[in-house]
Amino acid sequence: MHLLLALLLLATHLTPAVARCEAGPIHEKRFIEAGGIQQWLTIDGSDCANPVVLYVHGGPGNPLTPYADQLFSTWRARYTVVLWDQRGSGMTYGANPAPEGSPLTIEQLRDDGLAVARQVAQHLGQRKLILMGSSWGSVLAVHMAKQRPDMFHAYVGVAQVVDERENGIDAYTRVLALARQANDAEHVPRLEALGTPPWTNPRSFGIMRRAIRKYENLATDAAPKHWWTPAAIYATPKAMADYESGEDYSFLQFVGLKGDGMQARIKLPALGMDFQLPVYLVQGEQDLLTSASVTRRYFERIQAPRKALVLVPRAGHDPNQALMDAQFKVLEERVRPSL
């Protein structure tokens, strides 16, 4: 291990000896031990007595920590925002490069997330956290919420993934129809060659994803370009290489070499439709990857103390200003009043 990384681990390791934060600003970037490895965590807010949001990133392999200053700057006056680089992602991958053949599982990542949540709650002197998850993170967060609802005030899902087969077929059908309508000579033959999912070739998902981005971009408002400039700590050659390597590793774990990765096991309705905490889903109307129709069918079956489905015009699967604003509005108008 590099000497600098070893010193960082020693200096930032979060243990029970760390003083509990009860009031005042908090700005921490540190490794904590979770699931037997060092995992990267950031905690930012104007007052750590505020409610705490644990935001579970998507991908898998796409942490939001490099972009947090832009994405969550306005949230920090009202909430302490906690971001976590999942096992196999970002700074966590850099500290723990995955051995060849080492698998990721939903259950392992779920348990990592719960371990992170426990330590954060203890460190910030909070009884419960607000759990948020976007895209892949919405899968992981639902597993966390179903396993330990007592740890969270509410669950807020963004671009909610529901079921591998239902989402996959819906996305493929919609984007192929749009490509045909546009006489798209590039994407129509590529999509037709794939056939209807599920697929066994790991490249197939990427082919569809590129087509989806094209057609979502035509119907949505772009995010500000400065959002995607990483903070200095994440812009070093090593950090950038670790991010890319973790993204490649996690994506392959997601799709699998023969369509047998974590994606094939995403069947959230099988976990049960009864939630023991409030559930709020925020959905871009132009989302082609996790469409509003699939999300709505899932939402309608959910039994929860409180629930709401928020549809966001001019928003797709990836974050833009409207989607981020809608999430904050849910926190302010739906979640916070009941804390």
What CATH number does residue 265 fall under? Answer: 3.40.50.1820
Same domain, 238 and 206: no
Rounded Cα gap, residues 305 and 294, in angstroms: 22
Q: Looking at the domain assignment, is residue 225 inside a domain?
A: no
* Residue 224 falls inside a structural domain: no
**pLDDT tens sequence for the chain (339 residues):** 343 444 344 344 444 434 577 779 999 999 999 999 999 999 999 999 999 999 999 999 999 999 999 999 999 999 999 999 999 999 999 999 877 668 999 999 999 999 999 999 999 999 999 999 999 999 999 999 999 999 999 999 999 999 999 999 999 999 999 999 999 999 999 999 999 999 999 999 999 999 999 999 999 999 999 999 999 999 999 999 999 999 999 999 999 999 999 999 999 999 999 999 999 999 999 999 999 999 999 999 999 999 999 999 999 999 999 999 999 999 999 999 999
* Gap between the Cα atoms of 61 and 30, Å rounded: 19
Asked which of 188, 219, 250 is the last residue of a domain, the reply is: 219
Instruction: Please give the residue range of the domain that contains residue 141.
Output: 3-164+230-338
Give the C-alpha distances (Å, rounded to integers) separating 277 from 55, 126, 246, 339.
17, 17, 32, 12
Question: Is the same domain home to 20 and 89?
Answer: yes
Q: Are residues 200 and 326 in the same domain?
A: no
Residues 23 and 109 in one domain: yes
The number of domains in the chain is 2
116 and 51 fall within a common domain = yes
Rounded to an integer, what distance in angstroms lies between the CA atom of residue 137 and that of residue 110?
Answer: 10
Question: Is residue 277 in some structural domain?
Answer: yes
Phi and psi (nearest 5°) for 31? -90, 140
Pairing status of strand 307-312 against strand 279-284: parallel
Q: How far apart are CA 110 and CA 106, in angstroms?
A: 6
24 plus 151 within the same structural domain: yes
Same domain as 173, residue 30: no
Same domain, residue pair 88 and 59: yes
H/E element, 45: strand 37-45
CA–centroid distance for 314 within its chain: 20
